[in-house]
Structure 1
Amino acid sequence: MKNLITKLLYLAGFLLLLISCDSFVETDLPKSQLNNEAVFEDYATATAALTDIYSKIRDNGMLNGNGIPVQLGSYTDETDSFQSPSSPSEAFYQNRLLPSSPTIQDWWNVAYNQIYAANSLIEGVQNSKNLSEQNKKQLQGEALFIRALIHFYLVNLFGDIPYVIETDYRNNSKIPRTSTQNIYNNLIADLQNASSMLPETYSPAQRVRPNKFTARALLARVYLYNNQFTEAANEASAVLNQTGLFSLEPDLDQVFLINSRETIWQLQSANAGENTVEGSIFIFVSGPPVLALTENFVNSFSAADLRKSNWINSVTDDSTIWYHAFKYKERSNTPASVEYSVQFRLAEQYLIRAEARAHLGNLGGAREDLNKIRERSGLGQTTAQSQTEILNAILQERRWELFSEPGHRFFDLKRFGQLDNILSAVKPGWNSEDRIFPIPQNELNANPNLLPQNPGY
């Protein structure tokens, strides 16, 4: 009886918190609650544990707006840095990452903490006696998606890494690295399971919790990166065919707004009136800035490209012009939030299918998908004809379409075998071993099964 009263009191407080919050991600479960079995006996508290993970992804680590979107832009050829040499971000710009880097350590630790939380939720929901089967499926499907998402970014940054699927610290503290190919096999299995469990609809409507097609959008990307082109095209088609849910926004200024039909999944702001971290970092109103788009990148756009006029803005002090990403238009709070951090959107799915079709020899279909993006941007149809020409055109189109979004430029140059060719010409500190990051040194010290260190470090 005492346990029941305690649980009811907790739920009453939790529901009061929900009512007082503008955003579900404000419902921050204490860490001590995460492993409490009672949490997973009630859908409201289990949902709070799940959405707490989304808030952690938004606020900390790789996918925070000051993480991959900013750091990998300066690591490659999207942005110039004007920060002091002592700034942690300057190591990315100079391509001088070390195993002792605080940022590298933070990304690794936060990522595995988020994976642990997802695994804890999966185990708790599986063992729940009160949750309905439908609720179990949704919660587990979202947790599997999170687990796959974080591992996806880890493997593309660090190479072979542990793929963690349990919460037993005794096993996890000595777990070895998994080969990249096996990691991709695990990603595919997790995302297939997530897709089978998640609903087709969004709840809530603002697309801040992944649905079936979010899982399939990530699965399309995973298949593409794994050179499974038939599967990549099929998964992208499954998303693109959902015309009742998704469509390209004809007005580029509408693409990154909260209610954009192009959004597949976005991270909700913590409080009413807050917008994105990306906007607060990328947008500046005077110079010299902290970060600015490179002139080479800005000048690569055609004058007719609407992305140049709508998604790039300039600031001048009468002697120097600097450019910044302007996909997000708000750099501070507004009376009501107007932009959330977009993680997946429809344009990428067209580019995934175009690339997959090109590799499969369906050159007409590849051009058709590529032209969807070009025509929305005010450009004419591509003149590329051969497979090589089309693939090169897709790489270029991805650069123009997906700049300042999490990791695309770095991962694309790596996939296309162009890292050394492109970056050695514009990055004095670049060498071929920079294609993967160092494993944090204190992790190697704590778990020798992670050895050897990645080459070059």
Structure 2
Amino acid sequence: MKKKYISMAIAALLACGFASCNDWLDVQQNTEKKADHMFDNYDGFKGALAGCYSDLLKSDLYGTRLTMTDIEGLACLWSLDVGNSNYTDGMLTSAYFREHNYSHNLTETAIRSIYGAFYNTILEANMVIKACPEHGQNIPEEDSRAVVEGEAYAIRALCHFDLLRLFGQLPVNATTQVELPYSEVTSIEDPLVYYSFDEFVAKLESDLNKAESLMKDNDPVFQYTMDQLNNIGAEGYEDVSVEDDFMYSRQYRMNYWAVKALQARMYMYLGQAQKAHDIAMEVINATTASGDKVVELSSATDYGRPDTEVTDDNPRLFASPSECLFSLYVPDLYGLARSLLNGNKSSQAQGDRTYLLPQSMLNDLLQGLDAATDVRAQYLWAIINDGQQHYYGTTQKYYASEDSPSGCIPMLRLSEMYLIAVEGASTLDEANDLYATYMKSKGSSPKAFTTTEEMRTELEKEYRREFFAEGQMFYYYKRNNVKHLWSKEDVDMREADYILPVPNTEYNTNR
């Protein structure tokens, strides 16, 4: 009952978004006068904002390239060989990314697609931002008006931050300087202005601060938990009431706590560990007006549900949706997981068609965990073979029942906030306490750190196994300027390997 309600609510939002997306492209291809009419009523704002989320889910962004495939190739997480002529073009692209070969036609095309998709999404967010002061009176409720504008700023910041993490210079001790455009334009014909790293970061901070101030006290997450907002109207949630149904299911939108989590991620990336820690602790300790935790860490109970019958009330939760601060709703996660990641422990391995790990790499990935109780070892991976006694690990993170195919791609999770807080803790005692809470939720005994170096070594391993196929490991490596990547320790990473080349497209017309 509960899960069905969530799916229906988000499906309706996406339907609105996809319908609006085509209209939106027509707007950009015609006149800005036509765009004005889009915001003549609240439905126009809803459609425009939903169109931004639909764009984030496209395959060139977080639908596949920047979560499951190419970005994990950059981090050398997948074992891929550029010499395998049986690979699909998608797998071969990821293989060239693993080699950090950015001049091959496949990677050049992928880079251009990623770059363009980001700026298309930003363009749409900019239209909403521009429309809010001009047509915001068409959103009846003042608090909803503030949240809609805040989400647009948050989406713009999210996209620019990952553009910085992909195409920008090293965040600390860079010897190569890179200028990037921070787009605030509302037409593809408008030239983009390029900024130095520090100038770009200042604009990014400004957008996140703006989003935070707009959403503070206006977002329903101050009144209700994420779980309550996901299930308005369902049995057991009769006391949950939000007048504007566009404010339901905040876990699938850039809500206030997602903005705070993105700030924590940003400051850790920039090397401001204490600031990142403090914000992460705000998120960890976040409560509603009634004192309930806004969101809590996923636990073995969540992961263990697939051992019983899968129903709407008892779904598969391998992607930790209960602890997501922001996630993208995927109507057919089952089909996506099967086609890209195999994802089914009862299937035969298709090493030339899907992303898999040799069993030896999987063993190394999970080494150090309590194999009998840790949820990653127990549920996130399955061993399959190709019929010729070659064994592989297949990630089940995104695998769902064919009868209940919807699911989510995590974008910001409470687990990351714990790891950020551990890394930025002022004392080892605090770090150990936080890590113990975190590891207990995973079903493993924590390792007690005796030195900062020991902590950093363990955190790198934990980022890798916890966020596998979520697209975070490359950025962890980049912010730490790691020289030897897991599964490719014999090759030195150069500074240039961490910087994707800015493509020549219509989005840098002033260059």
TM bucket, shorter chain: 0.7 to 0.9
2:267 touches 2:276 (CA, 8 Å); kept in 1? Answer: yes
1:341 maps to 409
Q: What displacement does 1:189 show?
A: 1.5
AA paired with 2:78?
T
Counterparts in 2 of 1:180-219, with a 5 A limit? Answer: 180-198=197-215, 199-201=219-221, 202=229, 203-205=247-249, 207-219=251-263
2:322 maps to 261
2:393 maps to 323
Q: What displacement does 1:117 show?
A: 0.4
AA paired with 1:43?
Y
Matched, 1:281 2:340: yes
Matched, 1:122 2:181: no
Alignment match of 1:164 (pick from 183, 188, 212) = 183
Matched, 1:95 2:112: no
2:70 touches 2:93 (CA, 8 Å); kept in 1? Answer: no
1:438 maps to 501
1:373 maps to 438
2:484 touches 2:490 (CA, 8 Å); kept in 1? Answer: no
AA paired with 2:480?
F
Q: Residues of 1 paired with 2:124 and 2:337: CA distance?
A: 25
Secondary structure of the corresponding residue to residue 264 of structure 1: strand
1:65 touches 1:341 (CA, 8 Å); kept in 2? Answer: no
1:99 touches 1:439 (CA, 8 Å); kept in 2? Answer: no
Secondary structure of the corresponding residue to residue 281 of structure 1: helix
Report the CA distance shift for 1:431/1:230 in structure 2 as closer, same or farther (over 3 A). Answer: closer
After TM superposition, the structure 1 stretch with the greater mean CA deviation from structure 2, 27-36 or 81-90, is 81-90
Q: Residues of 2 paired with 1:277 and 1:150: CA distance?
A: 23
After TM superposition, the structure 1 stretch with the greater mean CA deviation from structure 2, 312-321 or 142-151, is 312-321
1:79 touches 1:291 (CA, 8 Å); kept in 2? Answer: yes
Matched, 1:179 2:196: yes
2:289 maps to none
AA paired with 2:45?
A
Q: Residues of 2 paired with 1:116 and 1:56: CA distance?
A: 11
Q: Residues of 2 paired with 1:428 and 1:259: CA distance?
A: 34
Matched, 1:244 2:293: yes
Matched, 1:53 2:115: no
Matched, 1:77 2:81: no
**Could you report, residue by residue, the CA deviation over 1:60-105 in whole angstroms, capped at 9, with x for unpaired residues?**
4221224443112122231112663764333213321228511111
**Could you report, residue by residue, the CA deviation over 1:248-282 in whole angstroms, capped at 9, with x for unpaired residues?**
12225268469943121111224xx6557356422
Q: Residues of 1 paired with 2:442 and 2:504: CA distance?
A: 45
Report the CA distance shift for 1:395/1:413 in structure 2 as closer, same or farther (over 3 A). Answer: same
Q: Residues of 1 paired with 2:484 and 2:102: CA distance?
A: 20
Alignment match of 2:380 (pick from 311, 315, 320) = 311
Counterparts in 2 of 1:32-43, with a 5 A limit? Answer: 32=26, 35=32, 36-43=35-42
2:123 touches 2:185 (CA, 8 Å); kept in 1? Answer: yes
AA paired with 2:93?
P
After TM superposition, the structure 1 stretch with the greater mean CA deviation from structure 2, 385-394 or 344-353, is 385-394
AA paired with 1:88?
T
Q: What displacement does 1:322 show?
A: 1.0
Report the CA distance shift for 1:74/1:259 in structure 2 as closer, same or farther (over 3 A). Answer: closer
After TM superposition, the structure 1 stretch with the greater mean CA deviation from structure 2, 258-267 or 235-244, is 258-267
Q: Residues of 1 paired with 2:431 and 2:267: CA distance?
A: 17
Report the CA distance shift for 1:341/1:431 in structure 2 as closer, same or farther (over 3 A). Answer: same
Q: What displacement does 1:403 show?
A: 1.4
1:258 touches 1:338 (CA, 8 Å); kept in 2? Answer: no
Alignment match of 1:390 (pick from 434, 455, 470) = 455
- Unpaired segments of 5 or more residues in structure 2? 1-7, 169-178, 222-228, 230-246, 287-291, 306-315
2:321 touches 2:408 (CA, 8 Å); kept in 1? Answer: no
1:274 touches 1:336 (CA, 8 Å); kept in 2? Answer: no
Q: What displacement does 1:413 show?
A: 1.3
2:420 maps to 352
Q: Residues of 2 paired with 1:300 and 1:248: CA distance?
A: 22
Q: What displacement does 1:120 show?
A: 0.7
Q: Residues of 2 paired with 1:163 and 1:441: CA distance?
A: 16
Q: Residues of 2 paired with 1:268 and 1:56: CA distance?
A: 12
Report the CA distance shift for 1:427/1:144 in structure 2 as closer, same or farther (over 3 A). Answer: farther
Q: What displacement does 1:368 show?
A: 1.4
After TM superposition, the structure 1 stretch with the greater mean CA deviation from structure 2, 246-255 or 409-418, is 246-255
1:409 maps to 473
Q: What displacement does 1:315 show?
A: 0.8
2:356 touches 2:393 (CA, 8 Å); kept in 1? Answer: yes
1:299 maps to 364
Q: What displacement does 1:33 show?
A: 5.0
After TM superposition, the structure 1 stretch with the greater mean CA deviation from structure 2, 103-112 or 63-72, is 63-72
AA paired with 2:44?
T
Q: Residues of 1 paired with 2:322 and 2:488: CA distance?
A: 39
Q: TM-score, normalised by structure 1?
A: 0.83
Across the aligned residues of Structure 1 and Structure 2, the Cα RMSD in angstroms comes to 2.8
1:26 maps to 15
2:310 maps to none
Q: TM-score, normalised by structure 2?
A: 0.75
Q: What displacement does 1:424 show?
A: 8.9
AA paired with 1:224?
M
Alignment match of 1:104 (pick from 111, 120, 125) = 111
Q: Residues of 1 paired with 2:505 and 2:499: CA distance?
A: 18
Aligned residues: 419
1:150 maps to 159
1:126 touches 1:136 (CA, 8 Å); kept in 2? Answer: no
